[in-house]
Structure 1
Amino acid sequence: MKLLEKILVPIDVNIDFKEQLNTAIKIARSYNSEIIVMYVLSEEIVHNDIKEIVINAISENLNKVKEILKKEGILIKEPSIVFGNPVDKILQSAINENVNLILIGSGIIDKNEKFRLGINADKLIRLSDKPVWVVKSNEETKLTNILCPVDFSDPSRRALKNAIILSKKFKAALRILGVYKPFVTTSLRLKVDTKEENAYRLGLIEKEMKQFLKEFDLHGINHVIDIQAGVAHENILHTIKEYGHDLLVMGTNGRSGLNRIVMGSVTEKVTREMPCSFVTTKTQDIIQLRFDNEIKEIEIHFKNANDLVENGFYEEAINQYSICLQINDMHIPSFYKLAESYRHIGKNEIAEYYENRAKALLARLWDKKIEFEIRKHYRSDN
């Protein structure tokens, strides 16, 4: 079982892709993922002699990338060169290869441009159902300080789920940010106590945040819950700069682009500024659980379960520990791990049941061992 099986890395050999490749290596090494490298060449090149020269040059660069990944011990599929529209071909490849993640560079941006996100990267975010990780060029993604803004919508729910997974895997700090719009008035006619009104609004979002976070397991994660008053996209950009966040995780929704409730328009306004590397999630998670139904060995199921626990997938881990007990109903470590997993999801009575079964089994085995030693002793005396 692999939690993050495949990463699609479309490379533009004409620009600096060092940080894009470094980030891909970092993720692949952590999850034992396969990297799929591709280059999309425009069909505008029609002269065969020119096309051959260009293809040879690109192939040489892709082979260098392949060797770098091999030296790093990363599993890599043979790099490919395809012809056509970059966005269309990347999306098609992501579907054909059934990748977990598309990892791209931010692209070439003119210094005079207002927005820092490349055109192709922007289109991929809008059109891809797969999670898209955009690496900020010329800036190391350390994966130590993650920001996840939430507005309690389904897109932000998915984003936070993935942010928590990444925080656990990379032992990164996580800031969960909620922004509410403060009441402001300059009218002398309105007799409103702005302090009282804003205190009321703050109380509402604090209550909503508390309820929202009940769905997530934040145990063992160095996290901060940060509620601010202001304009959402401005606060997010300011927070990234003030606290030095190196990864932003946000949610998007719908094929027409970004969810227009609150989070979508905010996501668009933030990501086009390219404040740091970021991940956008839409209908799929970065981590997709894929099991081989033919696996029977208890050790593999137990290892699968432990990996799931480490990444916060307690219900899925429970399923794997249960399979261990189907194979061997005296597998004591699985009993204890089931108890631990059920406690994580708040089912303490079931946890106690499995813990008691483990203790009873240990006691029975211990009694048998003592009985065996006594019998052995008497046999030796005779």
Structure 2
Amino acid sequence: MDTIVVAIDDSTDSLKSMEFGRRLASQLGVEVKAISVVPEQEAVTSCSAMLKARLEAHRFDNIALEVVANHSVKDYLGELASREDIGVCMMAYGRRPVPEMLIGSVTAGVVRRSRRPIFLCGPRYNGRAHQQVDVLAVCVDGSALSEKMLPYAAVLAKRLSARLQLLQVIDTSTVRKPTSLDHTDVSESAYLSGLARRVESEQALEVDWEVLHGDPADSIVNYLADSHNTMLAMTTHGRSGLSQVVAGSVSHEVVHEAPCPVAVLRP
């Protein structure tokens, strides 16, 4: 990853991702640029002038801006984010109650199209509490899908000189009440401790872990509530349509509510 590209539009909210993108690029030691996609070539000049003025007003005047014309913002940014030399940052903002609307349909579409993680700042993102990445927390649940994030996270943690942490949530609403607390603690930690040892061996990286209990989305958000300088990383099924309402609801809820940036991957 040689460049951090921040997708912006005419909203004030998109400047939150601009701030995060600049900080991430600085920590990685790479360049940062802003990009905006408009549907028609005729709109490029006026959009460029407007966005340059907005960037200058918010002290981003030293950041290069590119405005491109493409009929599909999702396709263009999805292809851009799939490149190994580029990391794409975006603002994720939406509304309830449909899960995809929690992060916005454009953002969800880019996540579905990209073959690499997308860096997202949700509406609760707190730039004052997360000015750099000291901890990279990866959500896993025992599935091969969730572990697809680990190679990306390990490489990123090394480049950021950040601590890699594994998080697993035990959903207490679906787990039978234990007959022995000690035995339950051992079985709950066995997966994470074993996975941590595997990652340490494969990636030559120190890893710690934490088991949470409760509703998956709520538990993760509550765990992050008082965190500082943390990035969360997680995978999502990210399917469109009705199947996505269940498959992607946890990741979308977390992105919408988390105070820290979230790297999302659809394997």
> How high is the TM-score relative to the length of structure 2?
0.73
For each residue in 1:251-272, what CA deviation from the matched residue of structure 2 results, as whole angstroms up to 9, or x when unmatched? 2357669x99x98553244234
From 198, 201, 206, the counterpart of 1:215: 198
Name the structure 2 match of 1:102. Answer: 88
Task: Select the structure of larger CA radius of gyration.
Answer: 1
State the distance in 1 between where 2:36 and 2:227 align.
Answer: 35
- Once residues 211 and 184 of structure 1 are traced to their aligned partners in structure 2, the CA distance between those partners, rounded to angstroms, is 23
State the Cα deviation string for residues 6-44 of structure 1 (Å, max 9, x = none): 33322103334333222222222333434453222245x
1:144 aligns with 2:134: yes
More helix by share: 1
1: CA distance, partners of 2:25 / 2:164: 21
Q: Which residue of 1 aligns with 2:49?
A: 60
Question: What CA distance in whole angstroms lies between the structure 1 residues aligned with 2:34 and 2:193?
Answer: 42
Paired residue for 2:72? 85
Can you give the 5+ residue segments of structure 1 that lack an aligned partner in the other structure?
A: 44-50, 186-191, 284-382
Corresponding residue number in structure 1 for 2:211: 227
CA distance in 2, matches of 1:268, 1:112: 11
Q: Displacement, 1:275?
A: 4.5
Q: Is the 8 A contact 2:239 2:247 kept in 1?
A: no
Contact 2:81 2:115 in 1 (8 A): no
- In the TM superposition, residue 127 of structure 1 has moved relative to its aligned partner by 3.0
Q: Distance in 2 between matches of 1:111 and 1:41?
A: 26
Partner of 1:5: 2
1:112-261 to 2 correspondence within 5 Å? 116-136=102-122, 139-140=126-127, 141-142=130-131, 143-182=133-172, 194-197=177-180, 199-217=182-200, 224-243=208-227, 246-253=230-237
Counterpart of 1:33, as a letter, is V
From 281, 287, 290, the counterpart of 2:265: 281
Aligned-residue RMSD, C-alpha:
4.0
1:57 aligned counterpart, secondary structure: helix
Could you tell me which amino acid in structure 1 is paired with residue 141 of structure 2?
Answer: D
TM-score when normalising by structure 1: 0.54
- Equivalent residues of 1:100, 1:131 under 8 A apart: no
Deviations 1:315-349 (A, max 9, x none): xxxxxxxxxxxxxxxxxxxxxxxxxxxxxxxxxxx
Distance 2:122 2:90 in 1: 9
Matched residue pairs, number? 256
1:33 partnered with 2:41: no
Residues 215-260 of structure 1: CA deviation (Å, up to 9, x unaligned): 2128775x64211332322211221124457421112357669x99
Q: What CA deviation, in whole Å up to 9, does each residue of 1:273-329 have, x standing for no partner?
A: 45432101234xxxxxxxxxxxxxxxxxxxxxxxxxxxxxxxxxxxxxxxxxxxxxx
Q: SS of 1:196's equivalent?
A: coil
Query: Aligned equivalents of 2:260 and 2:104: distance in 1?
Result: 14
